[in-house]
Structure 1
Amino acid sequence: MIIPSLDFYQGKIVRLYQGNYGLKKIYEKDYYTYIQNCIQNKIKNFHIVDLDGVQNSYNKQNFLLKKILKIKNINFQVGGGIRKKQDIEKLFSLGAKKVVIGSAIFEKKNEVKKWIKEYGIDSIILALDVVVKNNFIEVKISGWKKNTGKDIHDVLYDFCLTGVRHVLCTDITKDGTLNGPNISLYKNLVKKYPFINFQSSGGISSLQDIQDLKRIGIKDIIIGKALLENKFTITEAVKCWQKELFPA
């Protein structure tokens, strides 16, 4: 499905370029109106990123998240600085339906595995942000500043035994560029792990990108900048997705 996304930094809607805070663009949009428009277009899920939390897990925008997560008739998945169980409990108490966990996968691997079991495979999304170098797909953490030295396949193999169902994979070199998604990356992942629901993120710029991702088996497409910059409308994105689901 189509999952619109908004990133927030110091209370404002922004987009970074390849994760660089020094290359952020501010969008003067009202988040409530934006999300309501998505609801009117039958969007069921929405992705929220707390960039303050990404920078500092003790400096989350809970005041803003509390307002956003009160919006009815849509399910929110939220990421940004989730490092401990209390972070998860807080987001669920505010109304989040899913939490997105990234750096903690490496910093607290065994705890993350326990969280998947405790909260359920439909409540936890693993976020794997990668840089592709030849045949090595390295996962980065801490706002994409820290190398893990781990290939994405090593991580997925390790977590498969937990029954993990949802994985958000971002090609860092594509994020915020509007240069199109890494089709070959997602095609490879879908083929190797057919039991995982992959969410693609990064580079979406056209309706053709949506069609291409749908055709290789991607279940969810996160779209941020393309919608903010009116490359296409949410109405067009939903119709494109449905057309791929039910071709003439």
Structure 2
Amino acid sequence: MIIPAIDLMNSKIVRLYQGNYSKIKYYKDDIYNKLLNYHDIQEIKIVHLVDLNGAKDPNHRQIQLLKQILAKVNIPLQIGGGIRTEKDIEVLFRAGVKRVVISSSAIINPKEVKKWFNVYGGNAIVLALDVLINEKNEKEVLINGWQNYSKLILEDIINEFSEVGLEHVLCTDISKDGTLLGPNFVLYKEISSLFKHIKFQSSGGVSTLHDISCLKSCGIYGIVIGRGLLENKFTISEAIQCWQNA
């Protein structure tokens, strides 16, 4: 499926270049109008929201903004950014979130996150694993808004959380994110073949309809698309049709 992505910082729609907070681009689009437009498209099953303030510093999460969005727009959302505690999860679920996206917490406090999987189930949690391919060709996972190396490898984390019912993994190649230079097809083909029980969402680099066709052939479950849609490289309808026809 096609999953539109919206990154929010200081209540504005933005995109970062390769996760760099000093390379931020603001967009004039209104968050509510954007989501209402997506709501009218039947083929969109979920929208991906990222609280970049929260991802950088959990003490500055845009929780009030997220609550307002959930109250005004009736569309399934998966939300991430700075989620560190079960209370954070409960607040979002009570507000109407379909799935929460957990990233750094899974690395920093894996025992606690495993408990969340046992409580809420694998369909309610997306594990976001953001990687850089190192000199050994290993998929090293970064945390804290991509500011720190975890020294852990993607495959090891997926294996660990598969034991508690992991279903959804959002995998981003940071070197591709926000670049419009094309996705890492090798990465997605490899992990989709290795972990057939996981519904992978790809993220980063999509700029053409051809990218969408190639990604579907890699065996992934969905494509998270941000900048390509914001900058009108193609329309959401064109992206959905391309996915369906690939």
Q: TM-score, normalised by structure 1?
A: 0.96
* 2:139 pairs with 1:137: yes
Matches within 5 A, 1:76-225: 76-133=77-134, 134-225=136-227
- Paired amino acid for 2:45: K
CA contact (8 A) 1:174 1:202 kept: yes
SS for the counterpart of 2:132 is strand
Separation of aligned partners in 2, 1:63 and 1:83: 17
SS for the counterpart of 1:122 is helix
Separation of aligned partners in 2, 1:94 and 1:128: 25
- Paired amino acid for 2:47: F
Residue 17 (structure 2) aligns with:
17
Q: Which runs of 4+ in 1 moved over 6 A?
A: none
Separation of aligned partners in 2, 1:150 and 1:73: 37
Separation of aligned partners in 1, 2:132 and 2:188: 13
- Displacement, 1:70? 2.2
CA contact (8 A) 1:6 1:49 kept: yes
Separation of aligned partners in 2, 1:146 and 1:40: 39
> Percent same amino acid among aligned pairs?
50
- Displacement, 1:71? 4.1
Separation of aligned partners in 1, 2:175 and 2:227: 14
Separation of aligned partners in 1, 2:157 and 2:166: 11
Separation of aligned partners in 2, 1:32 and 1:72: 7
Residue 3 (structure 1) aligns with:
3
CA contact (8 A) 2:35 2:73 kept: no
Separation of aligned partners in 2, 1:143 and 1:167: 17
Separation of aligned partners in 1, 2:72 and 2:240: 21
- Paired amino acid for 2:38: C
- Paired amino acid for 1:82: I
- Paired amino acid for 1:66: K
- Displacement, 1:109? 0.2
- Paired amino acid for 2:165: G
Q: TM-score, normalised by structure 2?
A: 0.97
- The alignment covers a number of residue pairs equal to 244
CA contact (8 A) 2:126 2:169 kept: yes
Separation of aligned partners in 2, 1:88 and 1:104: 12
- Displacement, 1:234? 0.5
* 2:229 pairs with 1:232: no
CA contact (8 A) 1:5 1:47 kept: yes
| 1:195/1:71 CA distance change after superposition, 3 Å | farther
SS for the counterpart of 1:64 is helix
Separation of aligned partners in 1, 2:211 and 2:189: 13
Q: Which of 64-73 and 161-170 deviates more? A: 64-73
Q: CA RMSD in A?
A: 1.0
| 1:59/1:107 CA distance change after superposition, 3 Å | same
- Displacement, 1:135? 2.4
Residue 36 (structure 1) aligns with:
36
Q: 1:53-97 CA deviation, whole Å, 9 max, x = no partner? A: 011112111121012112454210000001110110111111111
Q: 1:124-181 CA deviation, whole Å, 9 max, x = no partner? A: 1101000012421100001111111111111111111112000000000000000011
Separation of aligned partners in 2, 1:203 and 1:142: 21
